[in-house]
Amino acid sequence: MQREKIKKNKWRQLHMYYTYTGFYKFIFDGLKSAFLPTALIVGALFYVHYYVININEALIMLTEQYSDLTIFSVFFASESILGLIPPDIFIAWTKNTDYPLLYLSLLAILSYLGGVVSYLLGKAMLIIPSVNNFMFTKMSKHIINMRKWGGLLIAVGALLPLPFAMAAMAAGMIKFNFKNFLMFALLRLLRFVVYGFAIYQML
């Protein structure tokens, strides 16, 4: 009974801390800002699919025009450098390959490794003072949030449509424990399972 009470108090304190530090607001604002781009991408895909060219046919053309290695390389580069291209486009591409589940799994692993690269890049920037100062200024918000929320921010970035690469880079810049980073970042694999299932149902 005493143990349960202590556990409840701990969760209550954590809830109060996240409320006070603005964690919930950060999540809400992040989802709100991600909603419009996501809705625009989905809307554009539906428009193209029904009025311009069948998406499945377009993705098949893509596989014919570019090698699998090229597409995987572009994806890995994107996931390593600030997540410039939405991964959902690549997830949709895997459905029309010869080995969709294998390719989806490869994307998930590459995304995870891209996060590791971002972490190492963030850590490497500490060596060059001018780059370090520039990036600390540019990413000050992410660094402050990482110091406040640590692994929870990595978990949220891995699961939700928020900038995972930036969270990973910020983790490297503040020297967040590498083993803990690898553990929290594993949630990135779950994101690809869930999004893959949803996108496969749509197309």
pLDDT tens digits along 11-55: 777 768 778 777 777 777 766 666 666 667 667 666 665 666 665
Q: What is the pLDDT of residues 119-130, one digit of tens each?
A: 999 888 878 777
User: Residue 86 gets which letter from DSSP?
Assistant: -
Domain range annotation of the chain: 56-202
Average pLDDT of the residues of the chain: 80
pLDDT at 3 over 80: no
Instruction: Choose among 145, 132, 141: nearest CA to 173.
Output: 132
Question: How many residues are there in the chain?
Answer: 203
Q: How far apart are CA 110 and CA 163, in angstroms?
A: 16
Q: Do 32 and 24 meet the contact criterion of CB atoms below 8 Å apart?
A: no
Instruction: Choose among 21, 96, 114: nearest CA to 60.
Output: 96
User: pLDDT confidence of 83, banded at 50, 70, 90?
Assistant: confident
Which uninterrupted H or E stretch holds 106?
helix 100-124
Long-range contact pairs involving 127-136 (C-beta distance under 8 Å, separation at least 24) = 132/173, 135/169, 135/173, 136/173
pLDDT at 59 over 80: no
